[in-house]
Structure 1
Amino acid sequence: MPIADPSSATLAFTNRSNLALSDTNGQLFWTTNISAAGNSLSEATGGEATLENNGNFILWSSQGTILWQSFDYPTDTLLPGMKLRITHRTHALQRLISWRNPQDPSPGNFSYGADPDEFLQRFIWNGSTPYRRSPVWNKFVEVGQYIESIKSTIYFTLQPIDDEVYISFGLPAPSVSSLVLMKMDCSGKIKIRTWNSNMSKWTDLQSEPNQECNKFGYCGPFGYCDNTQPIVTCKCLDGFEPNNKQDWTASRFSQGCHRMEALTCGQGDGFLNMSTMKVPSQFLYVTNRSLDECIAECTSNCSCTAFTYTNMSTDAINGVETRCLLWTKDLIDMEKLVGQRGNPLYPG
């Protein structure tokens, strides 16, 4: 809960070396809860707290081991050097959770993190409903857009540690000294922000979704958002047409598109190559296949509507060098992306 009167707040060590935030009446607002984190009382005795230059707030034992650190408990913000857990074996999956509103820091409706069923894609959720989906990972490092105002490119990385996988972001140090952060905003946007020292405030470098067309499923089944045109809008895949042409003309796209000619499975139907796509949601992930084997997986199944293939031999994730994704349902939430951020998609 927010503290109504900040002047009444006290941050102090308890007798077990936990850091605790309370008011003058002794009401506890927050504690590090070291014992719950698996540290013994003897380890916690005689601790000290430091605020590092990267923004990490660390509670140390008298022996110099980390008992607790704020970077392990992201709220609505991810700083360079912080890691957000997107797969788990023994720990809970992590999300950035928005404030309720700009004045109320209690948990809001929007959150950001990996798909709990498939770490290759990340979502913004509105409650439990998908609101925005990021492109599928195809390597360890995803190079973001070059930002002219800070003269640098932002990098997003996928990092396996033991049996878990984390995402993080940052700038190519030490060439850039700009202060940046990633924030799950209460408006539903995931933002990359930088500190503007001239104006003494944070300004947005990137913000997603940046328009209606980029919201989850906005273009409906078999429709895609074309970001490569001056006016971004929904289009049907080649060979498809709108389910409701009147709605489509009026920029109401949710009913999507349908195939103009029925497929004749095994009788010469082929695939369309669509490059640099944010591939659809709800895929089947098949590992250790060659490109020919991936094509065969789809052509041998009359329910298969599309496939994509990536060879990650130099950027293997969890030891898997190739990735074949198959779709057997409606293709939903597609985008044609600018540049090389997407994957080639082969709808049939």
Structure 2
Amino acid sequence: MEWSSIQCFRSNAESVITRVQVNSHGSMARLTLYNGSTQWSIMYEVPYEPCDGYGYCGANGICRINTDPFCECLKGFSPRSVEEWKMLNWSSGCVRKVPLDCQGRGDGFLKLEGVKFPDFLEFLSNKSMSLEECKEVCLKNCSCTAYANSDLEKGSGCMIWFGDLVDVRELRNKVSEENIYLRLPASEIKSNGDMQRKRRLKTVIIVSIIISSIFLLVLLLVMLYCVYWKTRSKMRGTRIDKEDELELPLFDLATIASATNNFSPEYLIGAGGFGDVYKGNLKTGQEIAVKRLSKNSGQGAEEFRNEVELLAKLQHRNLVALFGCCIQEEERMLIYEYMPNASLDHFIFDNARRKILGWEKEFDIIMGIARGLLYLHRDSKLQIIHRDLKASNILLDGNLNPKISDFGLARIFEGDEKETRTKRVVGTYGYMSPEYAIDGKFSVKSDVFSFGVLLLEILSGKRNRRFNHPDHHHNLVGHAWLLWNEGKALDLVDLHFEDTCNVDSAQVLKCVQVGLLCVQKFPCDRPTMSSIVYMLEDDATLPPPKQPGFFMERSSKENEDTISRNEEPCSLNSVTLTMANGR
């Protein structure tokens, strides 16, 4: 069994050195304690949750968090490759056992409860339909495979999926009832009913066995409980907590120095308050980006650990991938996938580069950012508030696909927590919501406000804080609100496209309206990210926006000072961050 070292550090007493190692499968961990010449080792299990991987069970498969194996085909489907499934390779997915009746007379629906909505690859949304009307529309279309309510909070609206269902999995924390109605032939509906009766009989037998063995089970649990507390007591004695387990590969300093030509200036691709970013090439040929925290960095050890822990648990095509980290001597470095097109601000705030994008690509970028935030807020196993969403934290890959980055200031919301307050406000001026900047209150609606500002910046090609207009002293958000009230919302858009004939003015106008809905003054008025995704994709009528936050004119001197500094607003550095407990 191969082991990888994760972290070494010294206790407060400065006499005990601790080393945490995990095996190559991530399923076991070894804790080694050194005190002079004395050494102790402890073995314990580390949770491994493959269901968090995108599309882990392939098309028409479902990942179940408490079964072994994790993947199974949806009802009415069977593995596309039985041999691959026997080898625990589920990537090929599943296909139907019996074709659907395209006339709709012999098909029915099976209710799947407590599952995450499939990815929005091919779908139709209509907010005005009832669930029964949604069912009838699905039956009339041979390509329809499932339907559900689009508005989970109100239990209304219609969402229809076509083709394969991808990334279906059981929900861990069921904030609301997310039920999907899967379309099946009549024969499969009947067979499912027979199977449920057999399962009920099997459940009765299992319960009887459990009751007859209850005494032995309780005795075993007591023994395990004692072992658990004994191990926990030892871990507490050395100040080791589960949040200190870094579930990522650990790169040594020599490897990173070699990949970056000893951090040569020629390899430098970016810099910020945290330190420098270098491009690197590993010996395997893999291109990487190395974020090297400077010794005087405002981003401290807590922010570093926060980003490592979060990105190790999050996987989505619109989030930047973290390959590993380096903790050696006084060095702290994060190793990311390399993004050849840098960050979004590189394009939208540069007249020459904006022409490269075009409206269709800009809209794809907007949708990618929205889907990434939706994953953070609802679809991941942890509900994450980013707290520093801005153009410079959106990276673009070789195909100009957006990826949200920089999770050093992110915060985990646990259980039923909806809103919290901090004494130290962190983030970037111009993107902060009013309740956060003034009162320190933040929630998912804080990220929604930041998304609205970013959306208006993408449309206009102007920075919110540096915006300057000869007729008033409002920022970009205030300017957009004035244009909206005058019926001139399209004047906000920077029509820099070479072929303006391909620009969908209705779609652009809708984006302006969505942006203004996101930056409304009160959090309760702002839509959720799930609603925003539906609004951007749907043709339904949107509600009129209310007055945005911070709708006040700046003094002319303040506006001139902001422009004359000619610097991008940066994240606040004088902060303290309360770490959330890892789960």
TM-score using structure 1 length: 0.36
Higher relative CO (CA 8 A, sep ≥ 6), structure 1 or 2?
1
TM-score using structure 2 length: 0.22
- Which has more helix, going by share of residues? 2
Higher Cα Rg, which structure: 2
